[in-house]
Structures are given as C-alpha cells and as structure tokens.
Structure 1
Amino acid sequence: MSSSLVFAKMPAIAAYKLALKQGDAALEKMAERKDVKAEVDYFNKNIQSVKSVDDLFKDRRMIQFVLDAVDLGKETGKMGLLKKVLTQKADDPDALMNKLIDKRFKTAASLLKLGENGLGTIQRESTKADLAELYVKNKYDAGLASQNSAVPLALYFKENASSVKNTYEILGDQRMRHVVTTALGLPLQLANQSVEAQAAAIEKRLKLSDLKDGKFVDKLAQRFLMASDDGRSSTGSNKYVLNLFA
C-alpha cells in the first residue's frame, strides 16, 4: 500500500473533521513519504559531523530542515535575522527574540539553544527526534493548508487553546490570534490598536476559562472555519501575520 498522502481541495469544516478523524495515522503516513524521509535522514546522518553553528547555517539543506521543523521555514529570506535571533540566549532580556511580538523565534531558540550550548543541544538524540517529529507535523500541516489554508490554524488552536494563561499569549501567537479574532468577528484593523486595546477587545467577547472546555474550543474553531469559507477571513493571503516588533 502506498504511504503517500493526497490532499484534495475541500471545504474547511469537512477538511478539519477529516483531519481529526485521521489523527496520528495521517502523521505516520507523512513520516513515511519519500521526500520527508530523505530530509529527516539527511539531517540525522550529517548533524553530528557539523563543527560549528556557522557551518550549520552554511549547509542550506540542513538549516532548511531545522527551520522547517521549528516553523520558520518561510523566513529564509531573512537568514541574517534568523541567525542573529537563534544564536542569542533565550533568557537574555536584551535578546532580539524577546523584543519580537512573534513568539516563534523564542520558541525555536529555546529548543535549539544555539546561543547557550552551540551545537551541544541540537546534536542530542532527543533533540534530533523532536526536530524530526516537528518536521513531519509541519509538512502535514502544509498539506492540510493546500486543502484549505484555515484548517491547520484551527487544528493548532484546538491543540493549544487549553494552555493559554492570559490574553497576551493569544496576541503573541500569530496563529492563535488570527483564529480567535476571526472567530469573534474582530476586524484585521484591530492590529493597529495598542496591545492593551486588543486584549480588552478579546476579553470583552471571550472568557479565558472557556478555553479549558474542549467542546467550547471545538465550536470556536469551527466558527473560525465557517468565517474562512465565507470569505470573512484572510487566511489565504496570510494577512493575519503580525508585525514582528511589539
């Protein structure tokens, strides 16, 4: 039986429900896909021979794998920024990542620890396994996005909503913010207001405690998907991306 996955165009709600039904089985199929296995194998076979962080960034295939795994694969046009951010220490209050509203950079730096440990962390077996798992997940999400760009956003929200501690965590997460503001009917222009005003607008319409309720979260995710299919969301054009700097 072929291990390939075929992603066909379909309405957001249908694609979302299918993804939930397929669950881990779909991820396992993605992990077996030849092109995915080739990149995972290349990284695993070659990362131990890399001598420095500079050498890691010089190997375009390897750094692309790493960036794809940590959800920064589309930022390769900003390689200078990426290298600067990812080689700083995550706990340094003056580090650039701690001044960016986009928290993907800090999440990536905290996992890789290039600034703290050089290649020490990324060459560990546990980190290599984590990166392989993340790479597969992000490739799967990209496939879902080819069906309907809103679907991986809704799944991300469903998977992570219960861990939200305050409204500012929603605003600091591009995907979470877009799902919540779209589902609540808030306009894109909200991003032009102060962070405090944005938080107040969300809190007026949403009780954070409700995000602990799986049924509520699923309903909110589906409301977002319906808005996306109705054309009230701009997922397809990626207009949800925030300014990098707070």
Structure 2
Amino acid sequence: MNQLSGSQLLMLLGGGTAAATTLSPIERIGLFKTSVANTDKETARLQADPAVKRDLARLDRVIANAKTPADLFKDPEAVRVLLEGLGLADQAANIGLAKAALLSDPSDKTSLAANLSDTRWKTAAEQLGFAGTGLETLRSTATRETIAKGVVDYKRLTAIGEKSQAVSDALYLRNMPEDTAPSVYDVLGNKVLRRIASTLAGLPDELALQSVESQARTLERSIKVSDFADPRKREVLINRYLVTAADKVTVNDPLAGLGITLNL
C-alpha cells in the first residue's frame, strides 16, 4: 500500500449546534449520497478558502527553508498541516512520535514506522521517503500536490464527520485507490477500516483486548477482507455499513424530512 491518498484520512464535514440525536439509516444514506454529489463543489470551495491557502503557504515556507527533514518538526503548525495532508490529522499533537516515525526507514523491518500498529505511519513514511531522499521527495511537485489535496479532503471530510462518523467512514472506504488490497493486519492497523470491518462482522469492542494474531483470525472468520479491494464489492459493504452503524447527528440535520428512499 505505497500510494498515499489524502482521502485516507479519516474525519468529516458538517455543522449545526443543536443537541444530538440518533441518525437513522435512511438519513445516513441520504447524507452519503449528498456528500458524494457535492464533492467537486466543496473541494473547489475549500481550495479557494483563505485559511486553507494560509496553511499550505506556511508549510511551503517551512519546507523551502528546511535544510533537513528534521527541521520541519520545529514548527508545530507546519507539522499539523503536513499530518492533515498525510491522513494523520488526529496525531498532530504527537510531534515527537511524528518525527521519529516519519524520519525512520519504513523498508527496515526494525524501524518505528514499520512496527507501529497504526499502518498509516508506514504509508506516510513511504510517501515522504525522508530516510532515503531527504527533502527531495517532499519538494517534488507530485508530493506537494498530494499533500495539498489531502489537506482539502481533510477539511471537507471533517465537516461531514461532525454530522455522521459512519458517513465519514463510508466515504473513506469509497475513495480508497482501486489498487489498494489491504491485508487483515492492514485493516486492524487502520482505525477506519477496523471500525467498518468490526461493525459489519458484528464483533465487540473487546476484540481489541486479544492478541493481534487472535484478532486477525477472528476477523478473517467473520468477513472477507479481500472485498475491500473490489470497488463493486465496496459499494455493497458501504450500504451495509451505513444501515448497520450507529452514530449521532445534529437535530437540525439538513437532510431530515427530505423523504430520501433507501435503495440497496
């Protein structure tokens, strides 16, 4: 899984300040469809957003002035933007971990990036290539564009996630690169895929108390992990997940009362 997609990130778009209420399957399906339909419009809006532009400009300045990859981690705000673009926004406060993991060599089986249970670190370290190319890969046009896209996707998806974590998860799964074929350990090490797989398989949270090997065996008996690699089968999984998952949404949800029909 060497290709890093900003859409791996996991967190989503929304608003509303009213008290929370349980979101029904029909409402989750409706929000999912609306979010998919509005992707291009919201992406364009966020690309032009002054706050997003400021964030990316700050990261660009830090990258331009850095002499080594380690210099990047002297600026917490730049690290925050970088991690948002890499799908690791929830780790923005862990600068020490980010520095140690991303500077390590993911091809070395003894490295920190290769041994963390959260496989996003290894994917990000592979994408940046600090251990092998220094700042060269990060300064390339392709990598900078990927990170910028990741930041925009993070902002867009964060708002959706504030309305429904389940819809956020479903969009994450839908946007996985088509050549992505996660192993059972990749699923266990990815908090979004783990949440989706555990929900679909009806597995309890207590599964996490077992050894990783036991968790893998249990999950493999309950769900076909290979289905995550097939875009058509993903759609089936998404529909099942949106019906099965339980989350919260604000009372003033814009989809409420629209009479959206469920079509599985």
TM-score range (shorter-chain normalised) is 0.7 to 0.9
Aligned to 1:56: 72
Aligned to 2:40: 24
Could you tell me which of 172, 181, 186 is aligned with 1:169?
186
Deviation of 1:211 after TM superposition, in Å, equals 3.9
Give the letter aligned to residue 149 of structure 2.
E
Aligned to 1:145: 161
1:86 paired with 2:102, answer yes
Q: Mean Cα displacement is larger for which, 168-177 or 104-113?
A: 168-177
Q: Where does structure 2 lack aligned partners over 5 or more consecutive residues?
A: 1-12, 17-22, 249-264
TM-score using structure 1 length: 0.81
Give the letter aligned to residue 152 of structure 1.
S
Could you say if the C-alpha distance between residues 225 and 130 of structure 1 is closer, same or farther in structure 2, counting changes exceeding 3 Å?
same
SS for the counterpart of 1:77 is coil
Could you say if the C-alpha distance between residues 128 and 202 of structure 1 is closer, same or farther in structure 2, counting changes exceeding 3 Å?
same
Could you say if the C-alpha distance between residues 73 and 169 of structure 1 is closer, same or farther in structure 2, counting changes exceeding 3 Å?
closer
Aligned to 1:7: 14
Q: Where does structure 1 lack aligned partners over 5 or more consecutive residues?
A: 1-5, 232-246
Cα-to-partner distance string for 1:73-96 (whole Å, 9 max, x where unaligned): 222332212111111111111101
Aligned to 1:119: 135
Aligned to 1:188: 205
Deviation of 1:194 after TM superposition, in Å, equals 2.6
Q: Distance in 2 between matches of 1:161 and 1:36?
A: 24
Q: Distance in 2 between matches of 1:213 and 1:78?
A: 34
SS for the counterpart of 1:93 is coil
- Tell me which protein shows more helix as a share of its residues: 1
Give the letter aligned to residue 238 of structure 2.
A
Aligned to 1:240: none
SS for the counterpart of 1:90 is coil
1:221 paired with 2:238, answer yes
Give the letter aligned to residue 31 of structure 1.
Q
Aligned to 1:134: 150
Could you say if the C-alpha distance between residues 53 and 180 of structure 1 is closer, same or farther in structure 2, counting changes exceeding 3 Å?
same
Could you tell me which of 93, 103, 115 is aligned with 1:77?
93
SS for the counterpart of 1:121 is helix
Could you say if the C-alpha distance between residues 81 and 212 of structure 1 is closer, same or farther in structure 2, counting changes exceeding 3 Å?
closer
Give the letter aligned to residue 108 of structure 1.
A
Q: Distance in 1 between matches of 2:227 and 2:111?
A: 34
Q: Distance in 2 between matches of 1:121 and 1:78?
A: 23
Give the letter aligned to residue 244 of structure 2.
A
Cα-to-partner distance string for 1:1-44 (whole Å, 9 max, x where unaligned): xxxxx834574322211112223332222222221122123323
Residues paired across the two proteins, number: 226
- 1:223-238 pair list within 5 angstroms: 223-229=240-246
Q: Distance in 1 between matches of 2:134 and 2:235?
A: 41
CA-based RMSD: 2.4
Give the letter aligned to residue 140 of structure 1.
R
Runs of 4+ in 1 over 6 A off after TM superposition: none
Give the letter aligned to residue 153 of structure 2.
K
Cα-to-partner distance string for 1:41-93 (whole Å, 9 max, x where unaligned): 33234522222323211122222211111122222332212111111111111
Give the letter aligned to residue 243 of structure 2.
M
Q: Mean Cα displacement is larger for which, 43-52 or 55-64?
A: 43-52
Q: Mean Cα displacement is larger for which, 186-195 or 8-17?
A: 8-17
